[in-house]
Amino acid sequence: MNRKIHQIALVVVTTTVIGSAYAAESAENDALAITGAKISLTQAVASAEQHVGGQASKAEYEHEKGQSVFEVEVVKGQSVMDVKIDPTSGQIIASADDKADHNEDKAEHNGDDEQDD
């Protein structure tokens, strides 16, 4: 019985160590994945700003749905747009209104306008 508990504990510890090592390696690979991009982050930002006609406020390199993309958040007036750019071709894949940022801004403005009596 005691031997069986030790075997189970060994399996659990081994699995935890292997899982942790894989997660650390995966995070490093995500950070290094940008080296496979044919365009730079700076070029992606410039492309997104030109596409929307605004100013970038945030940019990142992501891997989503099996595809690597540059995602750039661009502000124009009161609008915030999310622009996705193909890191190989530099082409705009998609652009959409960032409703999450609009909702956060509205909540902040509503909170600022209220006064405590």
Q: What digits encode the pLDDT tens for the residues 41-65?
A: 999 999 999 999 999 999 999 887 8
pLDDT at 98: 86
Share of the chain above pLDDT 70, in %: 59
Task: Read off the tokens for 33.
Answer: 């994945």
pLDDT bin (cut points 50, 70, 90) of residue 3 is low
Alpha-carbon span 39 to 61, nearest angstrom: 11
Compute and round to an integer the Cα radius of gyration of the chain.
22
Q: Which has more confidence, 103 or 32?
A: 32
